[in-house]
Amino acid sequence: MIQIQEVAKNFGALCAVGSVSLEVAPGEVLGLLGPNGAGKSTTLRMLTGFLAPDAGTASIDGHDIREDRLRAQACLGYLPEGAPSWEAMTPRELFRFLSKVHGLAGDVAIARAAAATELADLNAVLDQPIDTLSKGLRRRVGLGAAVLHDPPALVLDEPTDGLDPNQKRNLRRNIRALATDQHKAIIVSTHILEEVSALCDRLVVIAKGAVVFTGKPSEFAALTASGQLDAAFRQVTEDRA
């Protein structure tokens, strides 16, 4: 469903991403980890078509992001870090606008807006201007916008940023259900190691623009005698920070 094949990106003399490859199957949640500046966000921006790779390519649901960008993007829901929104709108108005952008109308548009509202738990603030919402609620509005058109693939960059513990638990449960019940391929980029245990079937760890680990969370934890994810993270990334 999601494939990244040896993508690379340089910004002048800076190598942001050397060569990264990964794939995500339908029904799977992949965790993307790495220290600050590792190349995670750049990799995701190349996957989503916001940045053109200097080498390599990516595809979403069989559509190459370089050769068939619009169709690839139509198959994707993207929640970037610091997702923008129209702050004068309410979530209801935003979803109506985005429904038109995605070509949804009538009962389909109503049903998709209702599903996005339920997933992001926005019923209580549906008619409240977005600029009056807390950081966590704005994050949930962004998630609702990402899933509105029912895409087969999702890329979520720090989806629980700003959420309280109860909201994090509920959102993780809902993301997990999207993968298992609706058979979506999902990438979650996060700094929160407990999110890996709670959400992810596999993880890819990037450091200095290169993949340094691919495998199950349990296999990653087993790299150290303590069996702790944070210890494994330090072991594979600290000499590359």
Q: Decide if pLDDT at 85 tops 80.
A: no
Contact between 73 and 48 (Cβ < 8 Å): yes
pLDDT number for residue 240:
61
pTM as predicted: 0.91
Residue with tokens 């330090």: 234
Helix or strand (DSSP H, E) at 79: strand 76-79
Q: What's the pLDDT score for residue 241?
A: 52
Query: In 148-228, where does DSSP find H-type helix?
Result: 165-182, 193-199, 217-221
Q: Which of 28, 26, 12, 75 lies closest to 47 in space, CA to CA? A: 75
Cα-based angle 79, 161, 190 (whole degrees, multiple of 5)? 70
CA 27 – CA 32 distance, rounded (Å): 16
**And the tokens for 122?**
């926005």
As a whole number of Å, the end-to-end CA separation of the chain is 31
Tens digits of residue pLDDT in 163-210: 888 888 888 888 998 998 889 999 999 888 888 888 999 999 999 899
What the block records as the tokens of 111 is 């049903």
pLDDT (tens digit per residue) in 93-144: 999 999 999 999 999 999 999 999 999 999 999 999 999 998 889 989 999 9
The tens digit of pLDDT for each residue in 14-59 reads 999 999 999 999 999 999 999 888 899 899 999 999 999 999 999 9
**219's tokens:** 């296999």
User: Tokens at residue 75, please?
Assistant: 């198959």
Distance between CA 41 and CA 158 in Å, rounded? 10
Mean pLDDT within 141-154: 94
Judge whether 152 and 75 are in contact, CB under 8 Å.
Answer: yes
